[in-house]
Amino acid sequence: MSKNHILIIGAGLVGAATAYALVQRGFAVTLVDRGATPAVGASHANGGMLTPSMADPWNAPGVWRDLLRWVGREDAPMLLRLSALPGLTAWGAAFLANSRQTAYTRATRHNVELGLFSLRVMAEWRERMRPQYAASRCGTLKIYRSEAAWYAGIAKAASFAVMGVRYDPWDCEKLVQNQPSLAPIASRLAGAVHFPDDESGDAAQFTRALVDGAADRGAQLLFGRAVQRLWVEGGKVRGAILDDGQRLDADAAVLAAGAETPSLARSAGVKVAVAPVKGYSLTYAADGIALPTLPLVDDALHAALTPLGSRLRVAGTAEFSGFDARIVPARIANLKHLLRQILPEQADALDARDPVAWAGFRPMHARGVPCIGQTDCPGLYLNCGHGHLGWTEAAGSGEALARLMAGENSDFDLRPFAPD
């Protein structure tokens, strides 16, 4: 398409990355979000990890057994609230249908490719923008509590290595040498796997840097303005209509509204199989407390601990509960319990510092990979549905969509991500 005016709806990681990539190419961009600032949605306080090493979708073969087993259990890593079921029927059926081995293997490969591409794009953008976002490029570490789980973890890492994800198995001696703060639980661990190319950082700070970068190159920012629906005329998207009735006209629109994307897409007759999967995090002020120096995933507890400068973020759990944004105390207690099982000697000191609790909605596409590209409705593009991998895949998704819209040749194949 010619380099006209593009309206981007949603200033989370994905919308901000798309805006940044488009302004680099000379597009006129308007970025609109109902929040007062960027990153008020899922990108606000996520786990902070950029992990091609964890690119497998959550609808793994047999996921339905786990979901049934965990119904109603507040300590479950994946909790299905029965009250959410009526709103999940079509999406749930597609989510389960995509848990077949072939679909799962294919989706894993596409996510790994997008994650690795995204890290390459991040490296270029870092050079250009020099953003401050508590970045670390020392990799991530998965720890295992039984030998069987550790061997299975190594086998899974080996299957990812074929796709370009490097890994290094660590026994407990090497683990404690590298991460002395884990010494108190070493006797309960079987080993770990280090993924040296993974990264981490504060997603909200990076989103703000992208938005500033886009604004510096002329993007128009509209915060605190909610889009009510897309404006379709003559079978083509002409822009959007805001809650107060104002029309924003554009030559094309990119929907990057996270978990809210399906309802906005529907206003142009486009169906998107994205549902909200709620997750929680706790952010602790941790200066002066001995912490792991790497982001750490406890495979058995389904918890992630990420050092972010002088803070520690504990994130995890998935809840299928529709758009219920309440912070359920039992889920927070669960996260605190998980922290205590990983850092028993630091947990009291951390708790005394009154962590900030947060919940957000992962925009999860039923097929396990995000939706990036042009829809059947002329003038409407999607960049959404990144699920648990939105930080890992945001830069690559923005860059790849911008290349597509600019009609550039790209070494990254977007076809597997095309809107259905």
Binding site residues, ligand FAD, CB under 6 A: 9-15, 32-35, 40-43, 46-49, 226-227, 256-258, 260, 264, 279-281, 315, 360, 362-363, 384, 386-392
DSSP state of 299: T
**Minimum distance of ligand FAD from residue 31's CB (angstroms):** 10
Give min distance, CB of 34 to ligand FAD, in A. Answer: 4
Judging by beta carbons within 10 Å of its beta carbon (0-12, 13-18, 19+), is residue 355 exposed, middle or buried? Answer: buried
Nearer to ligand FAD, 92 or 115 (CB): 115
- For residue 355, give Cα distances in angstroms to 66, 74, 306: 30, 20, 14
- In the complex with ligand FAD, which residue's Cβ is closer, 71 or 327? 327
- How would you class 4 by CB atoms within 10 Å of its CB: exposed for 0-12, middle for 13-18, buried for 19 or more? exposed
Q: Least distance to ligand FAD from the beta carbon of 50, Å?
A: 6
Residue pair 324/279 in contact (Cβ under 8 Å)? The answer is no
Toward ligand FAD, which CB reaches closer, 38 or 379?
A: 38
Name the residue nearer to ligand FAD (CB basis): 191 or 396. Answer: 396
Using DSSP's 3-state secondary structure scheme, residue 308 falls into strand
Alpha-carbon gap, residue 102 to 349, rounded angstroms: 47
Q: Which is nearer to ligand FAD, 172 or 250 (CB)?
A: 250
Q: How many CB atoms lie within 10 A of CB 287?
A: 11
Burial 64-95, CB ≥16 within 10 A → b, else e: eeebeebeeeeebbbbbbeebeeebeebbebb
Q: How far is the CB of 42 from ligand FAD (least distance, A)?
A: 4
**Which tokens sit at 66?**
């786990």
Residue, CB closest to ligand FAD: 390
Residue (18 or 374) nearer to ligand FAD, CB = 18
Residue 14 CB, nearest distance to ligand FAD (Å)? 3
Question: At closest approach, how far in Å is the CB of 92 from ligand FAD?
Answer: 19
